[in-house]
Structure 1
Amino acid sequence: MPSFFKRSLLPKLRGFPLSTDAIEVLSGADAYRRCLLEKIAQATRRIYIVALYLQQDEAGQEIYDALHAAKAARPELDIVVIVDWLRAQRGLIGAGKQPGNSAWYQAMTQSHASEVPVYGVPVQTRELFGVLHLKGFVIDDSVLYSGASLNNVYLHKFDKYRYDRYHLIHSKPLADSMQHLVEHGLIASKAVHRLDLPNPPTTRSLRNDIGDLRSRLKHAAYDTTAGQLPNGHLSVSPLLGVGKNNPLSRVILELIASAQHQLTICTPYFNLPLPVTREINRALARGVKIDIIVGDKTANDFYIPPSEPFKVIAALPYLYEISLRRFAKRHQPMIDSGQLNLHLWHDGDNTYHLKGMWVDERYTLLTGNNLNPRAFRLDLENALLIDDPKREWQVPRRVELAEIFQHTTRIDRYQALQTLLDYPEAVGKFLRRVSRVRIERLLYRIL
């Protein structure tokens, strides 16, 4: 494959070999929740849960109870939960002052004889400038990977769900590699402390340790020495990235640049970094057919109906729609020809959280990376890249894509997307004020 980069990473990625039946695609959030609970109950050696947050609600309680039950039944089990340090110590956005999930973790530890440690990882001293956005649960010799966090809507506990991607990969070397990073790259840091014990240190007291951790993470990577260089067989490569020009971001750009026929991209927040937009434009110039699937603004997890009181966070879905409309307007000729296809996902009151890419019939990227400036510069991100050079894993791949497209509508004309004049009065007023004071560009860089 020709490389468009001077220091290409793709040919150097070591991957763990897979058989075609080693990758299972789960069909939805409910199946994902049931699979997670089943795997926890069956675990015999290790359970490493890594997520942005484990929420204090019915689904979160169900998962937490299952972890304690597994530990009580098999005390030798190595169980670790990793969440974002700052996110765990605040309440929900817009819900007023709350103690955060950390108070719940402490109550759970005090009320159980079994021990399930919950570690908080501070990627930055302020949540606005970076969070732990790693994904993936290691359970024995399998990895359950999704962009979803752990709460009612992500796990479809009741009537609503937040749609994501869900994969179960059976690979001991992959599971070992992901556990090793958590154990030696995160927990071993002086900046990382347990949140389920009383009186955790203040973020302010950890400033120097947090800076040291972030510096180390910029040079960290998953251990793939047990893997192989691309050799014509099905494989999976774990990727890690934080900060500007990190390896994960570079691989994402290389994947887009490698596309020769077909490229499909999913992102819940249409706010593409400039390098991604450039590579998409180059791919279109090469004649690549591109599908981009985003959530309708009403399927955005920040959307608040106009009938409810306005909060600043409610403007985000409209900002993303403005970006999408601008992109569509610039590329209308390619939309007309069918080379570029923009799809809006919408399914009732449910929300959309899909991320990832499908490149030609070879590469499939599983990730929590939102393909936005924040993911490329601020948050600690990871991904699993499935390389299928012989096209052995095409049927499950096509089935997953078909399910994603099921609730989408193609945008035929950029005029089909609303403008500022169509938005609720409070939203329009806020966005006009933002535009006047010229902080719109800053918002796009951190949201």
Structure 2
Amino acid sequence: MNSLMTAPGRLARRLLPFPRRARELLDTLPAFSVPADAIQGLPDPVAFRQTLLRLIGEATRRIVIVTLYLQDDDGGREVLEALYAARARQPDLQISVFVDWHRARRGLIGKQKSEGNAGMYRAYAARLGAGVNIYGVPVQNRELFGVLHLKGFVIDDTVLYSGASLNDVYLARHGRYRLDRYHVLRHRGLAEAMAAFVQQHLVGSEAVRPLNVADVPATRTLQPAIRDLRQDLQHAAYEVPRETPAPADVAVTPLLGFGRTDNTLNEVLLALLRETRERVILLTPYFNLPRPVRLMLGQLLRRGCTIDIMVGDKTASDFYIPPDQPFKTIGLLPYLYENNLRRFARAHRRQIDEGQLNLHLWRDGDNSYHLKGLFIDDDVAVLTGNNLNPRAWSLDLENGLLLRDPARLLHASHAAEWASLRRHAMRLSDYRSLESPRHYPAPVRKNLKRLNRTRLDRLLNRLL
């Protein structure tokens, strides 16, 4: 019924000339006016962990953490213990952690069956008592069809924004790291808006339940509530004023994205690309671009814009399995993504030869790459946990922060971040620079051939 009621509006938007819609959409976006010197990028996962723990230790009023998962390992326990210690020091401190419901209630892929991270949450609550509320958010009935992929840590009046989750590798424990992006924004209004959103739309939902209690309901009993939550989220948005940035300020707009249609984050991302004047830098961990993004990049190349895309080498994927280890089906994914990249590079080999299209492969030892986001021209940046793949585009609950900076106050910071990333990246000179599928491990070749024959590779690209 809801889709029928909104169909006329969707049809009308599709019939409008897209270029005009893009400009109008961007011109009418509300924003917080945030001083440029209140926005800081952090250089690496170690700085991210140190900053997170410091902010938790200094908190006096509230801590709101939204992430895909808080893992049962040394990194996750360090964060959880810091939260309980902060509560012990400040008994009035309000602490809420939101994680994906499905992800929290299962073990790691390929490992033995377990009660998942929720078991750790219950053990801590039983030992240390109440005060740290941990909620599971089921945005879909099954994990395969979508997860909580919102990002952001609101601590008092500070927003620590990153696409990282909380475990050993994201927090650079034990000698390995998974690289993401990390930004600190000190602004009371932005922090209030992000905290108010989860309070209104997540805590207020019957589908969102505590995970650190003894009796956790079965997912099947929550299905009507999950359906209501989905309907609410499809129309939800952050409450943002229309502030006019001062000369030393940056316009910051938090954006929400959920569902295949009327997805504000998707619409803004496409509008930003459509309005590009000269250059786009796109960061994604898995080269599996949604079709609208892929088509828009093609239009930009035809217009003469320069495009840089940085993606992790297949060995820098969190799904990569070295050939000397037992093969598991999940290990196909890095090879699927590399094949996507090969096809894209082959289709645009002329632009690569001319330097108009630059494809960068990131690799640093056995560490992994999880960066997301956009730089457009020299005055727009997008911080997001959105992987810029079909799953993020239509299934997961996503968000992002749009930074519009016409005075280019953050240009030096963005340029330094881009330069730092390129230190561990190699530019592809040709699609033949990628490993040939003929040289893939035998189990990979066998399974890829089967997927290609049945065309299931296209389905996997949409779901994983």
For the superposition of Structure 1 and Structure 2, which TM-score range results when normalised by the shorter chain?
over 0.9
Distance 1:256 1:371 in 2: 13
Query: Alpha-carbon deviation of 1:6?
Result: 2.9
SS in 1 for 2:292: helix
Which of 189, 197, 208 is 2:224 aligned to?
A: 208
Find the counterpart in structure 1 of residue 414 from structure 2: 397
Which of 82, 91, 109 is 1:93 aligned to?
A: 109
Query: Alpha-carbon deviation of 1:231?
Result: 8.0
Confirm whether residue 155 of structure 1 aligns to residue 171 of structure 2. yes
Confirm whether residue 436 of structure 1 aligns to residue 453 of structure 2. yes
Q: How does 1:61-140 map to 2 (within 5 A)?
A: 61-140=77-156
Q: String of CA shifts for 1:43-94, please: whole Å, max 9, x gaps.
A: 1111001000000111111100000000011011111000000000000000
| 2:33–2:246 contact (8 Å) kept in structure 1 | no
Query: Alpha-carbon deviation of 1:113?
Result: 3.2
Which of 341, 356, 377 is 1:360 aligned to?
A: 377
SS in 1 for 2:21: coil
Distance 1:229 1:269 in 2: 36
| 1:11–1:230 contact (8 Å) kept in structure 2 | no
Q: How does 1:347-426 map to 2 (within 5 A)?
A: 347-426=364-443
Q: String of CA shifts for 1:363-421, please: whole Å, max 9, x gaps.
A: 10000000000000000000001110111121111111111111000000111112321
Which of 355, 368, 374 is 1:338 aligned to?
A: 355
Counterparts in 2 of 1:85 and 1:259: CA distance versus 1, 3 Å? same
Q: String of CA shifts for 1:116-166, please: whole Å, max 9, x gaps.
A: 010000010100000000000000000000000000000001200000000
Distance 1:230 1:125 in 2: 42
Confirm whether residue 196 of structure 1 aligns to residue 212 of structure 2. yes
Distance 1:27 1:230 in 2: 27
Find the counterpart in structure 2 of residue 219 from structure 1: 235
Distance 1:46 1:401 in 2: 33
- CA-based RMSD of the aligned residues comes to 1.3
SS in 2 for 1:66: helix
SS in 2 for 1:347: coil
Distance 2:362 2:21 in 1: 37
Counterparts in 2 of 1:5 and 1:379: CA distance versus 1, 3 Å? farther
| 1:59–1:152 contact (8 Å) kept in structure 2 | yes
| 2:278–2:377 contact (8 Å) kept in structure 1 | yes
Query: Alpha-carbon deviation of 1:423?
Result: 0.6
Greater helix share, structure number? 2
Structure 1 unpaired stretches of 5+:
none
| 2:309–2:359 contact (8 Å) kept in structure 1 | yes
Structure 2 unpaired stretches of 5+:
1-16
Distance 1:323 1:395 in 2: 33
TM-score by length of 1: 0.98
SS in 2 for 1:91: coil
Which of 262, 279, 287 is 1:262 aligned to?
A: 279
Query: Alpha-carbon deviation of 1:3?
Result: 7.0
AA aligned to 2:31 is G
Tell me the matched-pair count: 445
Q: String of CA shifts for 1:300-320, please: whole Å, max 9, x gaps.
A: 000000111110100000000
Find the counterpart in structure 1 of residue 10 from structure 2: none
Confirm whether residue 283 of structure 1 aligns to residue 300 of structure 2. yes
TM-score by length of 2: 0.94
Distance 2:26 2:269 in 1: 10
Query: Alpha-carbon deviation of 1:229?
Result: 6.0
Distance 1:126 1:241 in 2: 19
AA aligned to 2:184 is L
Confirm whether residue 4 of structure 1 aligns to residue 19 of structure 2. yes
Distance 2:20 2:125 in 1: 50
Query: Alpha-carbon deviation of 1:115?
Result: 1.7
Query: Alpha-carbon deviation of 1:194?
Result: 0.1
Distance 2:243 2:177 in 1: 38
AA aligned to 2:243 is Q
| 2:33–2:245 contact (8 Å) kept in structure 1 | no
Which of 161, 178, 197 is 1:181 aligned to?
A: 197
Distance 1:432 1:9 in 2: 44
SS in 2 for 1:17: strand
Query: Alpha-carbon deviation of 1:99?
Result: 1.2
Distance 2:187 2:29 in 1: 17
